[in-house]
């Protein structure tokens, strides 16, 4: 392994919405068109570079009203691609006990 990329997102539209609301808002926030890539393709890019990727979730539901990206899907990605992904859960601390349970 040559490096660890500490900031990689699934490109599922749900992560864009969890971070920035509407897809158009996400494109404005990320300064470009949203990349649509399935998980196998997202895993292949770091694999080809001999890099591990920290796959980030997002949860700001209490302040945005937008549902969180499911942490269970991050965990499933790590189980499917353990040679590439390390998961980093998105936890909304304003959810109190629910946040602790999610963690």
> Is residue 83's pLDDT more than 90?
yes
Q: What is the pLDDT of residue 35?
A: 79
Does the pLDDT value for residue 42 go beyond 90?
Answer: yes
**What are residue 53's DSSP bridge partners?**
5, 85
- pLDDT for residue 82 is more than 80: yes
Looking at residue 7, its pLDDT comes to 92
Which run of H or of E encompasses 23?
helix 23-29
Mean model confidence pLDDT for the chain: 90
Per-residue pLDDT at 96: 95
Q: Give the mean model confidence (pLDDT) for residues 75-94.
A: 95
């Amino acid at each position: 392994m040559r490096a660890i990329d500490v900031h990689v997102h699934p490109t599922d539209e749900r992560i864009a919405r969890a971070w920035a609301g509407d897809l158009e808002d996400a494109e404005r926030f990320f300064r470009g068109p949203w990349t649509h890539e399935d998980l196998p393709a997202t895993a292949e890019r770091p694999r080809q570079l001999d890099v591990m990727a920290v796959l980030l979730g997002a949860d700001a539901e209490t302040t945005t009203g937008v549902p969180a990206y499911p942490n269970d899907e991050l965990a499933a990605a790590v189980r499917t691609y353990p040679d590439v992904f390390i998961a980093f859960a998105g936890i909304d601390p304003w959810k109190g006990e629910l946040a602790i349970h999610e963690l």
